[in-house]
Amino acid sequence: MRLSPLIICFLLIFSCSVEKELSTIDNLHVLIESLSSDDMQGRNPGTKGGQLAKNYISDQFSSINLKTFGNSFFHEVPAVSSTVKDSSFFTISFRDRDRKLTYGSEVVFWSKRNKETQKINSSDLVFVGYGIVAPEYNWNDYEGIDVKGKTVVMLINDPGFDTGRLNLFNGRAMTYYGRWTYKFEEAAKQGAAAAIIIHEEEAAAYPWSVVENSWTGPQLDLQRKDLGMSRSILESWISLDIANEIFTYTGFNYDSLKEFALDKSFQAFEMKGLSLTSKINSNISYFSSHNLIGYKEGISRPDEYLIFMAHWDHLGVNEELVGDQIFNGAADNAAGVAAVIELARKFDQIQTERSIIFTALTLEESGLLGSSYLAENPPFDLANVVAGFNFDRVLPTGKTKDMAVIGYGASELEDYLEAELEKQGRYINPDPNPEKGYFYRSDHISFAKKGVPVLYSDDGFDLEEGGIEEGFKEIYDYTNFRYHGVNDEYDPSWNLEGFEQTIDTIFNISQDLSNSPDWPNWYEGNEFRATRDAQLSSKNNP
């Protein structure tokens, strides 16, 4: 039977309305399942799976009729991949005794220098405590010692974590100085040939398995003008057990070293008799990854922006594993990208005074590189970004009585969140694990450094069914058994009601801001306040 044009038109309208009426939860299930499917092969940048993920996100942005900065949603991020070959080795010697460490289970190492073969010969080990130079805290672990050409050995986290004293750094809450990225950067500035971080599970906030999964295989970086030659030759992590075994040669152990590092009179010192010899043979290749960026244009203030962000990349495939080899990254961070896409769908239904930017960022797992590149090379004026909202590592939970704020006490965006939650009969819960430094471990920090206030919040942990005890159990289970592992997989039985709550709450806040003259700021005393003040001053006094 041939249908009349009128009936065909009716069916098309009906099918479109059904699609638009799909619930947030239904859309989230579809998006998360698609982005974390085995077909995406773990979404590693520079791979077929990474390209499939980018194409999928681009298609989603296109279906929502987002506009582009330039000719497409793809914004190039020049990158380099370096993979340590089996012929590489890492040996620590004590006088006539050599200890060749096993790559993966005992040590992970790599080089950010773009050279295929590099060597370190009998480089003396120097213990530099936490490896921190922080004038504002009157702290300098490198004072009085020259480490040029030597191998620095460092503790993870910062002194406040190990003492809990609020007047030392930020107490148990990690500062940026506690991040592994900072420690390697500072070691390079000091001229160290190599840098070793001792892994301690509580201080690092993840088990050794995360280190092994994250820093073996291809290591990605931005293409640097100096080809990475300003970095140390070698960067590495060593397991705590192995570190203790080696340090006993000299009469030290981890606990004694930590005691030294926390003493007010601490000075870095050579670990007499210990030296590093290493050869790093690497396969190096250059490629282009991409951030995905689209926006909805505001009707009266199109040059003022709100920005939503989540990273699309994950750890790819490890063919050396027995059984499942794919790091699907469902919670980290297919779920975050799904939130950004779903918010784009919601804003597609309304008009706003300000423009709204939606981003899916690359190379987050390699050190927040995609967001860092975007913050340095934005296709829009960062000084005109009113506020940002970040989604990263979202766990599937039922409804909650709260929302968690990572880095609680940072910006006035928390006031907007608190007011919205009060309407719902809910409340803010500060980050339950500030010592783990999550505030400095996600993409929003790249924009925060430029002054942009960004709210990093997610589903709470005070569950309507099970309360805080059950919420903490879910966090513990994910962190210890699924985070950066092959078990971070989508399950159709996931309860996404808590995730829906989060998205609806952030939508309400951002919708208000998109039609408001307000310019939120960081709280007084925050490390990013001065940069934001300067931005706002230039707006008021052009």
The secondary structure of 190-255 as a DSSP string is: TT-SEEEEEE-HHHHTS-HHHHHHHHSS-EEEEPPTTTTTTS-SEEEEEEHHHHHHHHGGGT--HH
Q: Which helix (H) or strand (E) holds 479?
A: helix 467-481
CATH class of 82-284: alpha beta
Q: CB of 519 within 8 A of CB of 538? A: no
Q: CB of 375 within 8 A of CB of 447? A: yes
The second-level CATH assignment, the architecture, of 297-518 is 3-Layer(aba) Sandwich (3.40)
Beta bridge partners of 454: 388
* Size of the chain, expressed as the number of residues it contains: 542
Q: CB of 206 within 8 A of CB of 483? A: yes
Q: CB of 262 within 8 A of CB of 163? A: yes
Kindly report the pTM of this predicted structure.
Answer: 0.85
Separation CA 408–CA 401 (nearest Å): 17
HSE of 166, CA atoms in CB hemisphere, 13 A: 0
HSE of 82, CA atoms in CB hemisphere, 13 A: 26
Contacts of 164 by beta carbon, 8 Å cutoff, 6+ apart: 171, 172
Q: CB of 156 within 8 A of CB of 177? A: no
Separation CA 455–CA 407 (nearest Å): 9
DSSP of 484-505:
TSTT----TT---HHHHHHHHH
Separation CA 126–CA 55 (nearest Å): 47
Max CA-CA distance within the chain? Answer: 91
HSE of 386, CA atoms in CB hemisphere, 13 A: 24
Sign of the torsion angle spanned by Cα atoms 375, 380, 384, 387: negative
Query: What pLDDT is recorded for position 353?
Result: 98
DSSP-based three-state secondary structure for 116: coil
Query: What pLDDT is recorded for position 169?
Result: 87
Residue among 2, 81, 6 at smallest CA distance from 287: 81
What does the domain layout of the chain look like in residue ranges? Answer: 82-284, 297-518
Residue among 374, 393, 360, 534 at smallest CA distance from 451: 534
Residue-wise pLDDT tens for the chain (542 aa)?
444 433 434 444 444 444 446 799 999 999 999 999 999 999 999 999 999 999 999 999 999 999 999 999 999 999 999 999 999 999 999 988 999 999 999 999 999 999 999 999 999 999 999 999 999 889 999 999 999 999 999 999 999 888 877 778 888 888 889 999 999 999 999 999 999 999 999 999 889 999 998 899 889 999 999 999 999 999 999 999 999 999 988 888 999 999 999 988 899 999 999 999 999 999 999 999 999 999 999 999 999 999 999 999 999 999 889 999 999 999 999 999 999 999 999 999 999 999 999 999 999 999 899 999 999 999 999 999 999 999 998 899 899 999 999 999 999 999 999 999 999 999 999 988 887 888 988 999 999 999 999 999 988 999 999 999 999 998 889 988 999 999 999 999 999 999 999 999 999 999 999 999 999 999 998 889 999 999 888 777 66
Separation CA 516–CA 508 (nearest Å): 12
Residue 34 neighbours by CB distance under 10 Å = 18
CA distances (Å), 500 to each of 26, 194, 215, 340, 398, in order?
Answer: 10, 46, 33, 12, 9
- φ, ψ of residue 252 to 5 degrees: the values are -95, 165
Separation CA 279–CA 117 (nearest Å): 7
- φ, ψ of residue 528 to 5 degrees: the values are -100, 0
* Residue matched to tokens 């989603």: 60
* Residue matched to tokens 């038109």: 9
Tell me the residue type at 317: V
Residue 450 exposed, middle or buried by CB count within 10 Å (0-12, 13-18, 19+): middle
Domains 82-284 and 297-518 share a fold: no
Q: CB of 206 within 8 A of CB of 214? A: no
Separation CA 16–CA 201 (nearest Å): 51
Q: CB of 454 within 8 A of CB of 391? A: no
Read off the pLDDT of residues 449-499 as tens digits, 9 standing for 90 and up: 999 999 999 889 999 999 999 999 988 899 889 999 999 999 999 999 999
Separation CA 127–CA 276 (nearest Å): 13
Separation CA 58–CA 294 (nearest Å): 9
Contacts of 387 by beta carbon, 8 Å cutoff, 6+ apart: 306, 307, 413, 452, 453, 454, 455, 510, 513, 520
